Structure 1
Amino acid sequence: MTNAGAPTVAPRPYAVLGATGEQGGATARTLLAAGARVDALVRDPTSTRARALADDGCRLAQADLDEDGGLPEALAGTQGVFAVTTFDGPGGPRGGSRAGPMHRPRGRRALCSYPPSWP
């Protein structure tokens, strides 16, 4: 039984950190191909790679794991997070551990972090 004319609620998007990189970009495009909504979290929304993600259907959200300010807002309303962090970049492996605590208390269903986050 369907309710014709009833408004439909779009599922909450997935947030992809590191979306302009190889793993994050592949994850974002795979989610899009599966019909999911994707928020690509990027440092620079004007970069060539970020614009390509937008052209593919991602919503761009400016955020940086090295700056506390934008991450909570960028993750607001998402249902899951894919986070790619590095061992040797700014913040080192701590970057993934910043995403985890901001993700869990907000009732999201999924957190995939690579490499795994350390406490």
Structure 2
Amino acid sequence: MKKSLRRAALTLPGIIAAGLLGAGGTAPAQADPIQPLSCNHGHTNKDSGEGRAKQRMRYRTGPHTSCSAYGWVDGGTLIYYHCYTRGEDINGTDSWTWGRIAGTQKQGWFSDYYLSDGGALTPC
């Protein structure tokens, strides 16, 4: 199952509950405010997943292409996942995974668009 469908299944009960509360005469909860672009996004090692880069890609200091790049990984490189967050949309995918390049201590943000299985499943 694609990661976006798995995430949707995990959040659907909360969405339904929020909708029912709104229909019951109370004001629906306000959406989270939009966060400004930040290259200092928090992360933790909460996920035990792994995947591979689909193609040569940069890994960055934050979940946006405007953030500095730490370097490049080649297609097929194994990445150990730690967690994900929402960031800049890359070709319809706005989730980014914080991960570590296998066999190194190099870590950074990887756009889930470029990861073989869509990246981490655990939010940061």
Q: Is the helix fraction higher in 1 or 2?
A: 1
TM over 0.5: no
Q: Is the strand fraction higher in 1 or 2?
A: 2
Q: TM-score, normalised by structure 2?
A: 0.25
